[in-house]
Amino acid sequence: MSLLVEKYLTFVAVIPKNAALYLRICKLKVVLMLVITAWVGIVLAPDMGRSWLVQLASLAGIGLVSAAAAAINHIVDQDRDQKMARTRHRPLAQQQLSAKQALCFAASIGIMGGILLLVYSNWLCTLLTVGALFGYAVVYSVFLKHMTPQNIVIGGLAGAMPPLLGWVSETGSFNAEPWLLVMIIFTWTPPHFWALAIARKQDYERADIPMLPVTHGVRFTKLCMLVYSVLLTLVCLLPFLIGMSGWLYLIISSFLNAMFVQKVIRLYFESKSESAMSVFRFSITYLLLLFVVLFADKLIL
């Protein structure tokens, strides 16, 4: 036991030296988006009288567990990352960090996040957050990603959970409303990732990852993206229809969805990879703006 403690303390001692590398395996931009959507879940939840410091601690817990899942994803994918132009410069692919170092780091921040959630949130939120980590880091990264072209569709549920996590951290209970937010992200995920998969199709072929453009062709993937973008438009109506949001949300979300569908339609009739990347980049902005509008609409209501 003392030897394990000694090794762990040695690992902790060198973290500052490799801080930039550890931050890179956390996928900070993705984690920031997850935390923002979790924050909107907190804002939309019934006011439980919790202080903003307690809410901030809950968000930090969700963020740390999400970063741990991202680090584990880097460990699982390090061999395939070496074959892909988009990922070959990642720290583990470049052997700038070892798998053991990354795993110790992931365990450390994951445990810290879990403790924050237990102390400042509730057991249900902690259980759901750890479950989302397992879903992304193990079910998706280890199995689904390399087994089926529906990997993004099935595995997307883990990435869609943060609004529910935020809501549950505030209330300690399940409600129908946050599941609508989960449905929005769940429906958004396939066209978002398939746009990237179209642009990076050769990368996924080299890495032997069965993304939909690789297994079923680009044309079919574009058609599926169009179906999902239309479905996303319909799902985005639900918060307004149940009175969860008001006219500001309805107007701006309708405009954003019209732009999304228009970009996907343009992609369907074009063959340039730049068009696919344009859809991918816009989809990130789209989701961020959609949740900002949900927050703004709540303030007005």
**What average pLDDT does the segment 106-121 reach?**
97
Segment 134-138 mean pLDDT: 93
Contact of 153 with 142, CB cutoff 8 Å? no
pLDDT of residue 7: 54
Per-residue pLDDT, averaged over 113-127, amounts to: 97
pLDDT in tens, 239-251: 999 999 999 999 9
Q: Tell me the per-residue pLDDT of 59-90, one tens digit each, with 9 for 90 and over.
A: 999 999 999 999 999 999 999 999 998 899 99
Task: Quote the CA–CA distance of 68 and 21 in Å, as a whole number.
Answer: 14
For the record, the structure tokens of 289 come out as 């703006």
With bands split at pLDDT 50, 70 and 90, how would you rate the model's confidence at 162? very high
Task: Give the pLDDT band of residue 1 (cuts 50, 70, 90).
Answer: low
Could you tell me if 87 and 93 are in contact, meaning their C-beta atoms sit under 8 angstroms apart? yes
- What pLDDT does 271 receive? 73
Cα torsion 284, 163, 123, 138 to 10°: value is -40
> What 3-state class would DSSP assign to 170?
helix
Where b means 16+ CB within 10 Å and e means fewer, 201-230 reads bebbeebebbbbbbeeebeebbebbbebbb
pLDDT for 274 equals: 80
pLDDT at 298: 86
Q: How far apart are CA 120 and CA 131, in angstroms?
A: 18
Judge contact between 207 and 86, C-beta under 8 A. Answer: no
pLDDT for residue 54 is more than 70: yes
Q: Is pLDDT of 4 > 60?
A: no
Average pLDDT over residues 252-269: 97
Angle, CA 256 vertex, CA 250 and CA 258 arms, to 5°: 100
